[in-house]
Structure 1
Amino acid sequence: MQFTPTAVDGCWIVDLQQIGDDRGFFARTFDRTEFEERGIDPFVAQANMSFNHKAGTLRGMHRQIEPHAEGKLVRCIRGTIVDCCLDLREDSPTFGKNVMVELSADNRRALWIPPYCAHGYLTLTDDTEVTYQVSGPYAPQGEKGQRYDDPAFGLEWPADVVVISEKDRSWPDWDGKPIR
């Protein structure tokens, strides 16, 4: 695997190192040691999948608050998405910054979202499937979110939002106070 740091502290793009022959290729998609070498806790508590019918579907911006740490390794296995990590860790040197990365079945790229960062994605194609390896169990009492179009963060999505849940549309704007 090849790890590339992003503008958000602790957020990594993870690309495959393919070993190919006339059958196709082989690649490691997860390696505990390689994650540990970058300061990432490699524990996987659960694995999730989402399916999205339409291009323009937005899911996010979701996060868990202390003590419910939930880092995510996100990979698009069908179609194409733009995945967003928004740093909402008040003690982070990159607080308020975001990174958007195109993940697709074709590029086979993944994105590591550190715990306590907000995460969301926008589908760019119909019939999109996304998988997540998650470092902590989902805790409904720890779920928070920010609106995908909150003016405080200026997220620049590459396409119009066509489908969004009422919950995701209703997350509050950031009020300038520490986020916990």
Structure 2
Amino acid sequence: MNIIETPIKDLFVIEPKIWKDARGYFYESYSAKHIAEADINAVFVQDNQSFSQKGTLRGLHAQAPPFAQGKLVRVIKGAVLDVAVDIRKNSPTYGQHFSIELSGENHKQLWVPPGFLHGFLTLEDDTIFTYKVTNYYDKNSEIGMIWNDPSLNINWNEQLKAAELLLSDKDLILPDFASFQSPF
């Protein structure tokens, strides 16, 4: 497993070693040993999975302490543009984001620690996205920010026009960056 630092402290891309032959492929999608060797302090308590059509945008979400979650995210089938936004007030990268394409073909994963908003845009139909999380869901701890805040300058994907996006009603009314109050 190759664990790669991103420009944002504590946010890592994880590339598994893949063994391929005529039958297909095999890889370890998770290894507690490798995660610990990278100084990622994570004990996972739940796995979540979503199924989405092309153009579905989920996010930007997090949970506030004491229910904050770290997430190890990956795509089983299809592809997403995955985005994490640093909302740790004392971080030198507060308000900055990192994005990466995760797909069933590249097998990359992203470790999103507590203190980050997270979201993704599906780039293909029938995308299956999975997350290992470090805390249980708590509805009263949900926080979020509007996906298209211009101050975040996230390039979601120029090929998908805003009118084609599929968003939940909840995601359409999230606050912008200027009004967002980070609990981290």
**What is the TM-score normalised by the length of structure 2?**
0.91
CA distance in 2, matches of 1:30, 1:170: 35
CA contact (8 A) 2:42 2:70 kept: no
- Alignment partner, residue 169 of structure 2: 166
CA contact (8 A) 1:66 1:116 kept: no
- Alignment partner, residue 103 of structure 1: 102
Residues 26-62 of structure 1: per-residue CA shift (max 9 Å, x gap):
2211111221222212311100000112x11100000
CA distance in 2, matches of 1:108, 1:44: 20
CA contact (8 A) 1:90 1:178 kept: no
CA contact (8 A) 2:71 2:112 kept: yes
| Cα offset, 1:141, TM superposition | 1.5
Amino acid of the structure 2 residue aligned with 1:173:
D
Give me the CA root mean square deviation.
Answer: 1.5
CA distance in 2, matches of 1:18, 1:175: 43
CA contact (8 A) 2:145 2:180 kept: no
CA distance in 1, matches of 2:56, 2:24: 32
CA distance in 2, matches of 1:74, 1:64: 16
- Alignment partner, residue 141 of structure 1: 140
CA distance in 2, matches of 1:68, 1:91: 20
5+ residue gaps, structure 2: none
CA distance in 2, matches of 1:165, 1:23: 40
**What is the TM-score normalised by the length of structure 1?**
0.93
Residues 51-81 of structure 1: per-residue CA shift (max 9 Å, x gap):
112x111000001112222010111111111
Count residues in correspondence. 179
Amino acid of the structure 2 residue aligned with 1:169:
L
% same residue: 36
